Amino acid sequence: MKPFMKKSDWWKSSVFYQIYPRSFQDTNRDGIGDLEGIIQRLDYVQWLGVDAIWLSPVFQSPQKDFGYDIANYYQIDSTFGDMATIERLILEAHQHNIKVIMDGVFNHTSDQHPWFIESQTGKTDKSDWYIWRDQPNNWTSAFGGSAWTFCSQRQAYYLHTFASSQPDLNWSNPAVREAILAVQRFWYEKGVDGFRLDVFNAFCKDDRYRNNPRRWDVVGLLGGLFYGYIGQEHVYDRDRPELVGVLQSFRQLANDYDAVLIGETLDERFQYQKAKDYMGEDRLHLAFNFSPLHANLSNLPKVLADVSQEVEYPAWVWSNHDFPRQSKRWGNHPNRGKLMAVIQFLAKGVPFIYYGEEIDQPQVSLRRREVVDPPGKKFYPFYKGRDGSRTPMNWGGKNFCEQDIRAWLPIKGTSTVEQQQRDPTSMLNLYRRLISLRKSESVFQTGSIKWHPDGFMRSYQGERWFVALNWTCHPIACPDIVQGVEVVEGTIFDEHTIEPFGFGVWKLS
């Protein structure tokens, strides 16, 4: 199957939409979303104006980390469907002018992957496909505890940056790189338009396995007592110089298919700008910048401006399957989500919408017995895990699953897609209008950006647009610069005043 509508740099002007397949649409009455469900909802995704969907992993997996533990890169997990269904999904998505990005989980596999089962024996050419040591060093797992587990069969320790059921591949072994490139080629040939690369900066490790130094700042010292991962400087188990060579080989292949590579950086210190070293013509196209997601309302404007200055095309992410939803993150005011939508679509960068954010789906607080996420189970109640942002899409009408079926996580929220589609003042319709504005005016895709205390200016080929942002809970006057100019979009009253947490968009020239 040939990739469709190839056009270099298509990713720069695209709007991406993350689908967590378990929670999008159930069609086989098991309370878990599936590929068929995604196919049925493509009309909606197209209606919204989305150019590319990224599917969280749908490959064969024991689902201990809900698909981020892959047991076969060449098969679809039966929870979600089969090969024929993903092929149809790719085809139908392309017919809807929507590209398909798969989740590339290549730092680790499941411990049930045949490669690991073979590696455990220590007797075949797969012996070195994972990281085995006679003695552990001090490296810690991002899911808590040591990053090493003893394997009685092999009488050695293996490394796992995440759960012990997710052993890390050995990226210093050229055979591993070849095998993963073959996986990518297989999916590109099926028509896939790119990969989101799970924790790509953890692929390569220090070849001498030196201990990570301790962190001596307050967060590192105190936090490290409870959660060892933040007690260390991750200088030897992450961000190693060999990584660039790996990314270059990925990019060469991606270029043959005009595919995009989007990196997810693992960084407990939220220093995502570091990822810019991994972005460029011969490496990643994009890397998520999660800094705004960790900012509070008072430092958000500065964080946004700083990211824009440091990274040419920031991948704007306001939430995802690992972090709480936006809802209430920046306060309770109903305009807040709209303000953030304006930034996501009109500031310079590439927007990644997490399914459900377009209706301001709520973050859900679950009781202990409802928690299914492994780190949530481990650290509850101090950390309740990630289920709260993974609850099923609240479609309303013909909902996520049939009424007599119990969804894998509760469906919450009073506001539904169905209701919001009918309401011109809804968040959903604002999303749709902003996406359409972004598409119709090239200034929002390629223009330069200059941040001001009260908003930002976008300029392109003599055209200038001003976007005013009211960061306060009081009404404010529209900036002088827009006096007498008609507002294109905004939460403005009496023509001169921006509502609390409101915004306005004006074309100046």
- Residues lying near ligand NOJ in the complex (CB under 6 A): 65, 68, 105, 162, 198-199, 264, 321-322
Helix (H, G, I), strand (E, B) or coil at 272: helix
Look up residue 244 and give its two tokens.
């660039």
Nearer to ligand NOJ, 39 or 163 (CB): 163
User: What is the C-alpha radius of gyration for the chain, rounded to an integer number of angstroms?
Assistant: 23
Cβ atoms of 138 and 176 within 8 Å: the answer is no
Min dist CB 18 to ligand NOJ, Å, is 10
User: Cβ closer to ligand NOJ: 275 or 347?
Assistant: 275
- Residue pair 17/345 in contact (Cβ under 8 Å)? The answer is no
Out of 77, 258, 264, 499, which one is annotated catalytic?
264
- The active-site residue, picked from 65, 198, 357, 387, is 198
CA-closest candidate to residue 206, choices 232, 179, 178: 232
Alpha carbon distance 486, 416 (integer Å): 32
What's the per-residue H, E or C state across 446-479?
Answer: HCEEEEECCEEEEEECCEEEEEEECCCCCCEECC
Q: Which residue is nearest to ligand NOJ (CB)?
A: 68
DSSP for 349-417, please give it: SEEEEETTGGGTPPP----GGG---HHHHHHTTT---SGGG-PPP---SS-SS-TTS--SS----S--H
Structure tokens at 272: 């995502």
The token pair that represents 380 in the structure block? 């509850």
Residues 301 and 456: their CA atoms lie apart, in Å, by 10
Cβ pair 36, 54 in contact under 8 A: no
How far apart are CB 120 and ligand NOJ at their closest, in Å? 20
Is 111 marked active-site?
A: no
* Pick 104 or 392: Cβ nearer ligand NOJ: 104
CB nearer to ligand NOJ: pick between 68 and 115: 68
Q: How far is the CB of 1 from ligand NOJ (least distance, A)?
A: 28
Q: Minimal distance in Å, beta carbon 105 to ligand NOJ?
A: 6
Q: Which is nearer to ligand NOJ, 142 or 430 (CB)?
A: 142
Type of residue numbered 180: I
Minimum separation from the CB atom of position 289 to ligand NOJ (A): 15
Instruction: Specify the length of the chain in residues.
Output: 509
What is the C-alpha separation between 342 and 501, in angstroms, rounded? 11
Of the pair 386, 438, the CB lying nearest ligand NOJ is at: 386
Taking the complex as a whole, how short is the minimal distance between the CB of residue 163 and ligand NOJ, in angstroms? 8
Q: How far is the CB of 162 from ligand NOJ (least distance, A)?
A: 4
C-alpha closest to that of 37 among 405, 371, 324, 317: 405
Query: Bridge partners of 463?
Result: 460
* Complete DSSP assignment for 176-206: HHHHHHHHHHHHHHTT--EEEETTGGGS---
Q: Is 402 a catalytic residue?
A: no
- DSSP helix/strand/coil, 263: strand
| Residue placing its CB nearer to ligand NOJ in the complex, 65 or 239 | 65
Catalytically active residues are 198, 264
